[in-house]
């Protein structure tokens, strides 16, 4: 797979999912950035719906790569490969939530700390099931009736694919994080990592269809480090 990296200096307005550090931590550095698809925009793939069309419709977008008009990649996961010493979450953290709406998981990616809980919801008026494909965490496969909440604790860091056996196009990802320095890109492909102490770090960027790339970044005492990463297919 061909990979591309571009560093920019322009200011960004970012939104991200970032976990808090321990109380009393005096770190003030910030990494801001954008993850984009290199090359021409990709036309969204359509998947046929062959069951429960009265709720699910007749087709669904695959959502394996979701792009903004300027090729920003939504739901890319950005993290520090090696966190600073002493990094940990405030406790307790509320459970993350994954819903099922019109036969799609919402959101596509959720980050939960190791030892944290994901609450699986079902807002559809039909039966789903939630099935995990995990290695470090215990796998599960549970029937999921309407309006029932299924809490699952994820103990070990890994990226886990979740599917519904009853509706083959349904997919989501649970990213179990071993430290707080994780962010998920927003609908413009933007992210922010806050409270990063000064130093040199390696950013790791993962996207379900484009794989994993890395980028070196240096965080200073005052100014934000700003990075744009372009991911490309072969």
Task: Give the tokens for residue 179.
Answer: 């430290």
Please list the residues that pair with 175 across neighbouring strands: 111, 159
pTM of the model: 0.88
1-16+25-85+180-234: which CATH topology?
Immunoglobulin-like (2.60.40)
What does the CA dihedral 129, 133, 135, 140 come to, rounded to 10 degrees? 10
pLDDT of residue 169: 97
Q: Is-same-fold flag (1-16+25-85+180-234; 89-178)?
A: yes
Output phi, psi for 212, to 5 deg. -125, 135
**Per-residue tens of pLDDT for the chain, all 234 residues:** 333 333 332 333 333 344 444 433 455 799 999 999 998 888 889 999 999 999 999 999 999 999 999 999 999 999 999 999 888 887 778 999 999 999 999 999 999 999 999 999 999 999 999 999 999 999 999 999 999 999 999 999 999 999 999 999 999 999 999 999 999 999 999 999 999 999 999 999 999 999 999 999 999 887 789 999 999 976
pLDDT of residue 128: 98
- The DSSP secondary-structure symbol of 6 reads E
What gap in Å lies between CA 139 and CA 129, rounded to an integer? 13
Q: Are 190 and 15 in contact (CB under 8 A)?
A: yes
CATH number belonging to the domain at 89-178, selected among 3.40.50.10490, 1.10.10.60, 3.40.640.10, 2.60.40.420: 2.60.40.420
pLDDT of residue 89: 82
What gap in Å lies between CA 47 and CA 82, rounded to an integer? 38
Query: Closest by alpha carbon to 117, among 148, 95, 92, 89?
Result: 95
Every domain of the chain and the residues it spans:
1-16+25-85+180-234, 89-178
Q: Are 203 and 215 in contact (CB under 8 A)?
A: yes
């Amino acid at each position: 797979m061909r990979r591309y990296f571009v560093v920019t200096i322009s200011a960004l307005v970012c939104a991200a999912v970032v976990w808090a550090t321990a109380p009393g931590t005096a770190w003030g550095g910030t990494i801001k950035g954008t993850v984009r698809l290199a090359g021409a925009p990709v036309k969204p793939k359509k998947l046929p719906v062959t069951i429960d069309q009265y709720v699910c419709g007749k087709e669904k977008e695959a959502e394996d790569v979701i792009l903004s008009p300027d090729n920003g990649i939504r739901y890319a996961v950005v993290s520090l490969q090696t966190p600073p010493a002493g990094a940990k979450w405030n406790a307790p953290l509320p459970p993350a939530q994954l819903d099922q709406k019109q036969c799609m998981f919402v959101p596509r990616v959720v980050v939960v700390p190791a030892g944290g809980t994901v609450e699986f919801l079902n807002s559809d008026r039909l039966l789903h099931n939630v099935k995990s494909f995990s290695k470090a965490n215990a796998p599960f496969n549970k029937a999921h009736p309407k309006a029932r909440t299924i809490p699952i604790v994820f103990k070990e860091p890994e990226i886990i694919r979740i599917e519904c056996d009853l509706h083959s196009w349904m997919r989501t990802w649970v990213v179990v994080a071993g430290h707080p320095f994780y962010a998920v890109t927003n609908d413009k492909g933007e992210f922010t990592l806050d409270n990063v102490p000064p130093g040199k770090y390696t950013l790791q960027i993962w996207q379900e269809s484009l794989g994993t790339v890395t980028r070196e970044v240096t965080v200073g005492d005052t100014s934000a480090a700003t990075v744009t990463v372009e991911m490309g297919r072969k």
